Every structure is written in C-alpha cells, then in structure tokens.
C-alpha cells in the first residue's frame, strides 16, 4: 500500500510539473495558432501572397494552401506532370494538374502504350482500298478523330486517378436515372441536356427500334427510353461492368448560354415561369431590366452559381453531377461540336455496321462571337463563381475557362 501511495504521489507531481511548464513556455504561440486556425482575414487580405490557392494564417504568418497542380510558397509554380515522361510512344503536353499525350502513328491509349500498327503487309499484287492508302484524306481524318478521342480519355482518366476515392464510390440513383440503356448493342448513354441530346437520342432511338426515322424534338424526348435505374441491383452492376459507356459533353459556358436561350428567351416550356424569381439575384435593378419580360442572363447565371435547390434543373446542372464520370468509368467521350466525327468512331468501337445513314451531319458552330454577345455584360466575379461551380466539368473534359475568357475578351475588342 505504501509503495502504491508513493507511486501515485510521484505521478501526480510529474503531471503538475508538466502542466506548469506547458503553461509557462508554450501558451503564447499555441494559443495564437489556435486563434488563427480559422484564418486571420486581415493578414490574408492585406498581404494575400497566394496566386493559385487560398490564404490561411499559421503562427502569425499568412500561408498558402495551393490548388491542385500548383506548388511553391505563393502557389505560383505549376507542377510539371510531364517530368516523369508518362507518354511511352508520344509527346507529352503539360496541363494544370494534368497532362495529355499526343501519340505517334500506330499508338493509342492514355499513355500511348497500345500498339495498333498493322502486323502484316498486303501482298504486292493486291490493290489496297482507298481508305488504306497512306496519305489518303479519309485515313488522315480517321486518325485525327482517334487521336482526339485518346486525348479526351486521357484527360478524364488522369482527373479520376487524382481522386481515387471517387472511382470507388457507387453511382448515385440520380446518375442511374440519367443512363439510357441499349441492350441490343450493350451501350449505356448518359443523357446531359443541352449537349446535342436531341440528335443523340434520335440515334439511340433508331438503334433501339431498328429504324431510320427523323423525328422532331418533342417526339424524341417523349419516347419511353429504358433507364438503368429500372433494373435490379444485379442487372445494374452487370451493365456497368460490361457495357460500352458513352457520354456527350459541351463547353460549360456554351451549354449555360444555350440553356438560357432555350428556356428563357424562346420559352418553349413552363421553366420560364417556374424560375421567374431568379430575378431576385439582381440588386439595384435598372429600367433596362424592368422592360425585359424574361429572366436576364445575368440573373440566370447568378442563380445557377448559388446552387440553391429551388433553382436546380438538369438543363444547367454540371455534367459531372449528372453522370458521375469517375464512378461510371465512361469508355467514350463525344463533344457536341464533333458529333458527326465522333459517332462513326464509336460505332466502329462497338461493332455497329450498316447504320451510317442516320448519323448526325456536321453543323457550323456559332463560336466566340455568339458567346460574347451575352457574356460581355457579366461581371468577372460572376464568371469566377460559375467557373468554381463547373470546374470539374472544365477539368474532366479538357475545356479551358481561361481560354474561353480570353476568347471573349478578344471578340469584345474586335467589336
């Protein structure tokens, strides 16, 4: 008992000494650090050394927490992803927290690792078809489309590899309800509004029905497609694992403008009335706004960036939220402005032949001037809010917000 009491006395004495020394020697900087863990906005606002990151205060000093792809004390140094020479048979192009490979002829894949060079030459007495003659324009065009598709998949796969936890998640019920199923050709198509979905749905309608019909917009969208969430859990997993997964995407700024024009300018449905209170996002309204019947573009963008439940709609919801690309693991990424080139390659990939008659034809895009007409009235801070909300779409699908802004500014200066 005496030994136990002596031991407890020693322990108590040591604890008291530790607390006394801690109180005497450490509290000043420890309490300051704790105080500033929430961030001393005054220091960050006055000094703000972070070029590509956000500022916090640690031990009375502003510290930069860098965005992905940037490093250095002020987040001003872009990390070079090409440093490790990831492209086995091609040239590496560094991006912000990403890289793309431009493969040499005969090589494809994320890192130009797949050899598709012909293994056997044709006999000298056999005349090759035009599409196989070196230098033929059709061959060159096909190779360019394949190369572009490889780049798109590389960008998407690299993005997902940086966030491995996303790839382990199961697609949400929301996403399963966006995936149109074609069991005849083992295809899943994620439906993203305002990306040429009327044209794409028509292609999948004709594939499903074995027809070559032309239909108007209303007829296409009223067709009773089968969606992945209509299957059992086992059937869903089997299709996600084995089917070819296809998505069509579009530059987010173009898509937003198209959604606004379609729903608030042309007003083809009830969305114009349903979202009239988007007007409330604009303060100090001028007479200019009072005479406009529809929701102004500025108010629409502000409302979208606020991401409030009452203003959510699939026509302007980011594609990554609709389709969960890292979870679904798409096999083919088409772009709205290249559908005419993308579909033949996709058909070739999935083994569909004799169906070229109902593929979309190439259309002329309206380009930067079309965007500048409406975006020129949008303040830069509102544009940055949109960029923040749609950043995964820009990063996943190879679009550049900076290039869009520069293009808009150049177009403005010419006018």
**Residue 392: inside a domain, yes or no?**
yes
Q: Are residues 359 and 235 in the same domain?
A: yes
Pair 105, 58 in one domain: no
Q: Are residues 97 and 174 located together in one domain of the fold?
A: no
Distance between CA atoms of 184 and 182, rounded to whole angstroms? Answer: 6
**Could you tell me the residue range of the domain that residue 244 belongs to?**
169-414
350 and 226 in one domain?
yes
The answer on 142 and 107 residing in a single domain is yes
- Supply the pLDDT for residue 138: 55
Average pLDDT over residues 31-48: 51
Residues 282 and 389 in one domain: yes
User: b/e map of 190-225 (b: 16 or more CB within 10 Å)?
Assistant: bbbbbbbbbbbbbbbbbbbeeeeeebeeeebeeeeb
Task: Tell me, yes or no, whether 294 and 222 share the same domain.
Answer: yes
Label residue 141 by pLDDT band (50, 70, 90): confident
Question: pLDDT tier at 119 (50, 70, 90 boundaries)?
Answer: low
Q: Is the pTM of this model over 0.75?
A: no
Give residue 81's pLDDT: 73
**Domain annotation covers residue 21:** no
Q: Alpha helix (H) ranges present in 127-270?
A: 137-162, 164-168, 173-176, 197-209, 217-222, 233-242, 252-260
Q: 146 and 278, same structural domain?
A: no
Same domain, 280 and 352: yes
Using alpha carbons, select from 275, 364, 285, 283 the residue that is nearest to residue 316: 275
Instruction: Count the Cβ atoms, other than its own, within 10 Å of residue 12.
Output: 10
Angle of helix 252-260 versus helix 380-396 axis, rounded to 10: 120
Q: Could you tell me the CATH number of the domain that includes residue 154? A: 2.10.25.10
> Per the domain annotation, does 1 fall within a domain?
no
Cβ atoms within 10 Å, residue 393: 23
Distance from first CA to last CA of the chain, Å, rounded? 95
What is the DSSP code (8-state) at residue 135?
A: T
235 and 293 together in one domain: yes
Buried b (16+ CB within 10 A) or exposed e, 88-97: bbbebeebbb
Q: Tell me the per-residue pLDDT of 227-261, one tens digit each, with 9 for 90 and over.
A: 999 999 999 999 999 999 999 999 999 999 999 98
Question: Can you point out the beta strands (E) in 289-357?
Answer: 332-335
Give pLDDT, residue 145: 92
- Does 142 lie in the same domain as 190? no
Distance in angstroms (rounded) separating the CA atoms of residues 361 and 250: 17
In a domain, residue 51? The reply is yes
Residues 267 and 342 grouped into a single domain: yes
* Choice between 28 and 397, residue whose per-residue pLDDT is larger: 397
Structural domain tally of the chain? Answer: 3
pLDDT number for residue 92? 86
| Residue 363 · residue 285 · CB < 8 Å | no
């Amino acid at each position: 008992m005496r030994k136990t009491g002596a031991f407890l006395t020693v322990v108590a004495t040591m604890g008291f000494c530790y607390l006394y020394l801690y109180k005497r020697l450490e509290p000043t900087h420890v309490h300051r650090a704790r105080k500033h863990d929430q961030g001393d906005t005054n220091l960050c606002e006055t000094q703000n050394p972070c070029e590509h990151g956000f500022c916090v205060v640690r031990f009375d000093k502003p510290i930069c927490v860098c965005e992905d792809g940037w490093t250095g004390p002020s987040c001003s140094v872009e990390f070079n992803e090409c440093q490790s020479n990831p492209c086995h048979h091609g040239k590496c192009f560094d991006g912000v927290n990403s890289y793309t490979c431009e493969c040499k002829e005969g090589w494809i894949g994320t890192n130009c690792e797949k050899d598709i060079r012909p293994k056997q030459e044709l006999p000298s007495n056999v005349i090759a078809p035009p599409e196989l003659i070196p230098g033929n324009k059709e061959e060159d065009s096909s190779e360019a489309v394949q190369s572009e598709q490889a780049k798109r998949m590389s960008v998407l796969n690299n993005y997902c590899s940086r966030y491995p936890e996303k790839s382990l998640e199961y697609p949400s019920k929301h996403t399963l309800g966006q995936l149109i199923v074609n069991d005849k050709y083992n295809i899943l198509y994620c439906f993203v509004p305002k990306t040429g979905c009327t044209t794409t749905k028509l292609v999948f309608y004709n594939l499903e029905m074995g027809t070559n019909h032309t239909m108007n917009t209303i007829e296409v969208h009223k067709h009773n497609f089968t969606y992945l969430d209509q299957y059992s859990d086992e059937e869903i997993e089997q299709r996600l694992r084995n089917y070819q997964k296809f998505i069509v995407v579009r530059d987010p700024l173009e898509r937003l403008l198209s959604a606004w024009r379609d729903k608030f300018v042309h007003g083809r449905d009830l969305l114009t009335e349903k979202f009239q209170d988007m007007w409330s996002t604009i303060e100090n309204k001028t007479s200019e706004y009072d005479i406009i019947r529809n929701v102004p573009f500025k108010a629409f963008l502000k409302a979208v960036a606020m991401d409030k439940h009452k203003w959510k709609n699939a026509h302007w919801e980011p594609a990554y939220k609709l389709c969960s690309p890292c979870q679904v693991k798409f096999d083919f990424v088409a772009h709205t402005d290249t559908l005419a080139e993308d579909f033949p390659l996709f058909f070739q990939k999935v083994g569909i032949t004799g169906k070229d008659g109902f593929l979309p034809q190439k259309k002329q895009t309206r380009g930067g001037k079309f965007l500048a007409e409406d975006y020129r009235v949008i303040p830069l801070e509102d544009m940055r809010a949109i960029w923040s909300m749609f950043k995964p779409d820009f990063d996943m699908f190879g679009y550049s917000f900076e290039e869009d802004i520069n293009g808009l500014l150049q177009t403005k200066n010419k006018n």
